[in-house]
Structure 1
Amino acid sequence: MKASVDPEICIGCTLCTQTCPGVFKMKDGKSIAYKNPVPDAFKEACKNAAQECPASAIMIEE
């Protein structure tokens, strides 16, 4: 599974970094997915972060 964040859509709310800090971190005021492929231990939290993103900026590729 791979995660990515569209920087044009991301509003920098940090919700994903709080929900899944093992995959997402902030860079220049926007979130980035820094760990790909997503480790098994973080898959559920990563999916939750994508669902909770208020801007729908996170893409998950199975």
Structure 2
Amino acid sequence: MLNFVVNKIALVNVKTDKSQINDAMSRYKSSHGIIISNTTSEIVQKGDIIYIPPEIFAFM
């Protein structure tokens, strides 16, 4: 479901706010960001940010 290119940076943030991850993605020239959030019960991709619930992230 999640396809990442080798040698690319994917930033992970444990918050619901995407402003911090957007700043970090710009700073590190990352193509994707991941937010661990209680606001979703399944893995959801919105644009270049992927939201993952903590329960699923814990099993990764």
TM bucket (normalised to shorter chain) is: under 0.3
TM-score (norm 1): 0.26
More helix by share: 1
TM-score by length of 2: 0.26
- Greater C-alpha radius of gyration: 2
